[in-house]
Structure 1
Amino acid sequence: MKRFINIKTLAFLLVLLQLVSCNETNWNENYKEKEKSPFGNYIIYNEATTLLETEKVVLLNENIYDYLFHNYNERADYGSYICIKNSAYKLTDDGIDNLLRFIHNGNDAFIAVNYFSDSLKEKLGFTTNNLDKNASTVAELRELKGEFTLENNQFANKTYNFDRNIRRHYFLEYNENSTIVLGTTKIDGEQVPNFIKVYHGKGALYLHTNPVVFTNYNMLNGKEAYAANVLSYVSNKSILWDPHIKSSKFANKKDDNNSVFKFFLEHKTLTWFLFVSLAGVLLFMLFNARRKQRPIPIKEPLKNTTVAFTQTIANLYLKEQDHKNLVDKKIAFFLEKVRTKYLINTASLNSSFIEKLAAKSGNELQKTKYLIHTIIALNKKDDCSEEELIVLHKMIDNFFNK
């Protein structure tokens, strides 16, 4: 494994931060490589050559899609891509496709974000659950703590405790045939994956759900060992470090050269043909606008409006953004169906109940635990988000469709 950050270097950086921080401390998460505030990426980027034991770290000054388009040779074994941000929103669908081709050819990517794009989730076949998605203020984030572990035997029996800004964000579902769990976090007493490796072609993606652990605050607070151990998995060849500062100039742009109308307008005869045709259509519509006789009204039979009524009620809840009410009804529906279908008492959702439910329903014990713990967590909340409602609906639907 790669060596940790030099202690003398850390001490020097700490003194440097104290000297330059004359103004009030900025506790907002910004993940900027040039930012020396607590939740910037100044230290992790400047110590990348030491952590990754590489001589070349390229800080991209353009979008990764544009960089690979201009510089990457698919026959070359280049190295690794690293992105540590709140969300990789500038990584478009085209950018993801290009990055996956880069990885498929034998390169690696390390992505640590609080919010993964739906496109990346779909292409790699995984889902996540973020129980603290709505926590955004400094006061709210300060209360969020976490305990992490790494699955490698070299790090066995060692836990890493973080004291703030640790969102309860973890991987919910993933393809077990192409994915390895490298690290976990404890949520409501349950160890759930927050660091995974996804094989893709000849390369692999390393995905982490808590980018805050790599920021200046934790690197100077005795947590540099965890960052070093996590990044030790990444290839130590050339590194493409993405500061995520620019949108692509080329991705998602339509090519207008093949426009049918442009082709017609380039030729005079075809242009006249187009105009005459349009004029003929307009005249036809004008002279046939009125029917020659009044239409016979069609009497529609009475419709069964039960489904429409149900949809109207559901839309009313959605329009009012009353996600908590829908979550409560979804949980009540689930428990009622468990009582009637499996004849299990739902008064106490303990470990004995989970084991009985898993055995009678034929579902895996681990997935049943995730479902019940999610229900318990949502029951305790005063308010729920739309994403939490959707996640709960999918989990219950998958449970009964087993």
Structure 2
Amino acid sequence: MKKVLPILIIIVALIVTASLAISIKRTKTVDWEESYDEKSNKPYGVSVFYKELPKLFKDYKVRTVYHQPASYLIANSEDGYGEHVAEGSFIIIGNSDYLEDDSVDELLNFVDAGNTLFISDYSFSQKLHDTLYISTDFIENEKDSISHLSLKYVNIDDILIDRNEGDMYFSSFDSINYSILGYSKIDYLHPNFLQVPFGNGNIYLHLEPKVFTNYNLLKEDRYKYVEGVMSYLPANDVYFDSYTKIQTGYDGDVEKESNLSWFLEQLSFKWAWYTALVFGILFMIFNAKRRQRIIKIIKPLQNTTVAFVKTVSNLYFETQDHKNLIDKKITYFLEKIRNDYNLDTSVLDDVFTEKLTLKTGKKHEDVKKLVDFINWLKSKNEFFEENLVKLNRHIEAFYSK
């Protein structure tokens, strides 16, 4: 052991020295990708804006929408299967080109019913252009990379945005019925923020999404511009679009990093950690052979049924595999119906509903709601947590009555 110890010290010293040399050569780069991800702390993520939304719309609920507006708004309509009726302001920041025609139609219906749509992006879907009769154009910033933004009717004037190659602006629109709420300035003023009345509601179109990013909100007094823009929106519930961030393929490094990542970025802590780790491994290697034989302790067998159930339930909760769990609950329920009431469950139609009602003595309307909801779930490919909760409530109600 005395001969081995100096060799170990030399090896550890070499490892630490090589690691330090490699870390010094590494250059830390900044990711300037415009992800507009509400969970990203990178310069062009929108985590700061997203966290401030509850303060901007105090006493109102802020919901994050991870689905196409068409499916979400239909599900959360008066005749839908959602847990609430969607009413308020639908906000989309960046990457709005994902919107399909049916989603545009549902958003327009949402606004027509007296709600609000706010989109901040460099361009909009073609259907939105055609429906609202708007056109946009681009002016290059030839002098520098700075744009000057201002708002009308709000005391916000000449807010600077740097790292900007140019500005998008509205080149044509209905100047009689539409209201200009803001401008960008390169050489002269260009309208870049419009209020468009539509039915009983309003559409707000904004052409500079960068102002909502972390980089700009945390720099100087640029946050005042964002506060001014949001002040045009009515005080009500907010629906924040996050479907675009899933579809754009953004790698989401922020969410994948562990809590230890920040500490490992601190040079002193990082090498103290690595040194302790190396010595710990070496200690375990050279102490693997104990001087005294371990006396094995035989523990009595335990009933692990409850622990197994908790483990399986935690697995489903962590993986968020709602579809798998919904399929299993439906399969188990139908199997029990076959065993208890000797009914064929291959076709869940009105005849099956009537037979099940007669066999169980339940109310026909309660049985029909359960069967219709199971059929609706079978027709879907995408499931949410609320679908699973609602199915469980239906099944529990069926057995309790």
After TM superposition, the score normalised by the length of structure 1 is 0.50
Structure 2 residue aligned with 1:78: 87
Kept in 2, the 8 Å contact 1:166–1:212? The answer is no
The equivalences for 1:3-402 within 5 A come to 24-73=29-78, 78-85=87-94, 87-132=95-140, 144-152=145-153, 154-155=154-155, 158-165=157-164, 167-188=166-187, 190-222=188-220, 223-243=222-242, 244-245=244-245
Distance in 2 (alpha carbons) for counterparts of 1:61 and 1:37: 20
Distance 1:93 1:241, change over 3 A: same
Distance 1:30 1:109, change over 3 A: same
Distance 1:54 1:84, change over 3 A: farther
Distance in 2 (alpha carbons) for counterparts of 1:232 and 1:105: 21
Pairwise CA distance, 1:191: 0.9
Residue 144 of structure 1 aligns to which amino acid in structure 2?
S
Pairwise CA distance, 1:52: 2.9
Pairwise CA distance, 1:23: 5.4
Kept in 2, the 8 Å contact 1:63–1:245? The answer is no
The one-character-per-residue Cα deviations of 1:282-317 (angstroms, maximum 9, x if unpaired) are: xxxxxxxxxxxxxxxxxxxxxxxxxxxxxxxxxxxx
Pairwise CA distance, 1:54: 4.4
Kept in 2, the 8 Å contact 1:30–1:40? The answer is yes
Distance in 2 (alpha carbons) for counterparts of 1:183 and 1:144: 20
Q: In the comparison of the two structures, how many residue pairs are matched?
A: 215
Pairwise CA distance, 1:197: 0.4
Residue 121 of structure 1 aligns to which amino acid in structure 2?
H
Structure with higher RCO (Cα < 8 A, 6+ apart): 1
Distance in 2 (alpha carbons) for counterparts of 1:166 and 1:82: 25
Distance in 2 (alpha carbons) for counterparts of 1:143 and 1:35: 28
5+ unaligned residues in a row in structure 1: which ranges? 1-21, 248-402
Pairwise CA distance, 1:76: 6.1
Kept in 1, the 8 Å contact 2:193–2:206? The answer is yes
* DSSP 3-state at the match of 1:131: strand
Kept in 2, the 8 Å contact 1:44–1:216? The answer is yes
Kept in 2, the 8 Å contact 1:77–1:106? The answer is no
Distance in 2 (alpha carbons) for counterparts of 1:73 and 1:178: 31
* DSSP 3-state at the match of 2:97: coil
Distance 1:166 1:212, change over 3 A: farther
Residue 150 of structure 1 aligns to which amino acid in structure 2?
L
Pairwise CA distance, 1:90: 1.8
Pairwise CA distance, 1:213: 0.7
Pairwise CA distance, 1:29: 1.3
Structure 2 residue aligned with 1:351: none
Kept in 2, the 8 Å contact 1:62–1:245? The answer is no
Distance in 2 (alpha carbons) for counterparts of 1:44 and 1:50: 10
The one-character-per-residue Cα deviations of 1:14-34 (angstroms, maximum 9, x if unpaired) are: xxxxxxxx9532122111111
Pairwise CA distance, 1:143: 5.2
Distance 1:169 1:177, change over 3 A: same
Residue 119 of structure 1 aligns to which amino acid in structure 2?
K
After TM superposition, the score normalised by the length of structure 2 is 0.50
Distance in 1 (alpha carbons) for counterparts of 2:205 and 2:181: 10
Pairwise CA distance, 1:165: 2.7
